[in-house]
Chain A
Amino acid sequence: MPNPGTAELTLQERGILATSAYAAYLDDFSSADRVPVSAFQQPVLVTRNRQYYSRGQTYTITWQDFGQPLPAWFDPLIQGFVDLLTLPPNWDSYGAVVIDPKVVQDAMSFIHGLLGPTSPAPRVVPLSDGGLQLEWHRNGIDLEIVYDRDEAPHFYYRKRLSGEESEHPLHENSPLLKSIISSLN
């Protein structure tokens, strides 16, 4: 239970931006994004912190990387997740439960491994059952990654003009999802 008014999202306590996110940064940032180093300069891992505020609570996000610039999606995405964690019970006025922190953690870990440096940020939207969904509505495409609380996550994709649509289990179809996200730019 976080202390009133403040909370931490750390690698140790909640696993957010944990090893998978660190690995994602290695993958996502192309050589052009990295600072050239000579044979005498090795990239050094640094621990970074960033604070986010939501409904009177402060969340500190801690992760490790090489000090590279953060992608444009980073702050809106993390703020979206933090805003879900502070929703009170019955936030939809129809009896919604609070958002499950484990669902938030799972979604954060997955999406950080998927987005590239120039990917558009998804909207982070709560579900009444305590889950969440990530949404993009761009370039005539609707894309939703859905984490229902007690079901395997999936994504739904639709081209608005043609009505073509499909639905897929999330983890088995990451390459397809990644290609759809790249088409949103």
Chain B
Amino acid sequence: MSAPPFQNDPSIPGDERLFRRIARTWINWDEQGTPSISSAAFRDPELSVYLESVMARDGREPEDAIAGYSGYGLAAITAAHARSLNQAVARDPLPDEPAHGVVYGQKKRGGIGSKLRDGAIWVKTPAPA
């Protein structure tokens, strides 16, 4: 049996905020104009996120994660919340994005996507469509 591609990294603290861009198609505005996020935004087995501490180390604001992405919102979950749902939280720096990380694990069953979404807060809400 091969090892999973990502292992939980204990050097990432539980209160680390993990940022995720939220596409407009994943947002529902209610009658009061309040945006809510679909669980579909959190169902990828290898969920790409930005690690706040790495962005801060490099002098970057959270909103930098949606710079150049018109219409997108930015949401955050904590590493502890992801781990509580049996997810691994790992660093995965990319050549053009050193803050890239992955929340790794099964999310398609057991309402995991919904439960991850429940722990998400808006960092930057998008403008209504």
Interface residues of A (CB under 8 A from B): 83, 87, 91-94, 123, 125-129, 133, 135, 137, 142, 144, 146, 148, 151, 154, 156, 158, 165, 167
- Complex Cα–Cα for A101 and B23 (A): 20
**B40 adjacent to chain A (CB < 8 Å):** yes
Please determine whether A91 and B114 come into contact, CB atoms closer than 8 angstroms.
no
Residues in A neighbouring B23, C-beta threshold 8 A? 91-93
Given A91-B23, A93-B23, A123-B28 in contact, is the A167-B109 Cβ separation under 8 Å? yes
Q: How many A-B residue pairs have CB under 8 A?
A: 53
Of the candidates B26, B28, B39, the one whose C-beta lies within 8 Å of that of A144 is B39
Of the candidates A123, A129, A151, A156, the one whose C-beta lies within 8 Å of that of B111 is A156
Q: Which 10 A-B residue pairs are closest in the complex by CB-CB distance?
A: A92-B23, A125-B40, A125-B38, A94-B48, A156-B111, A126-B25, A93-B21, A127-B40, A128-B44, A165-B111
A/B interface sample: 26 pairs, CB < 8 A:
A91-B23, A91-B25, A92-B21, A93-B69, A93-B72, A94-B44, A94-B48, A123-B28, A123-B38, A125-B25, A125-B26, A126-B40, A127-B40, A127-B43, A128-B40, A128-B44, A133-B38, A135-B28, A135-B38, A137-B28, A137-B36, A142-B114, A151-B108, A156-B114, A167-B109, A167-B110
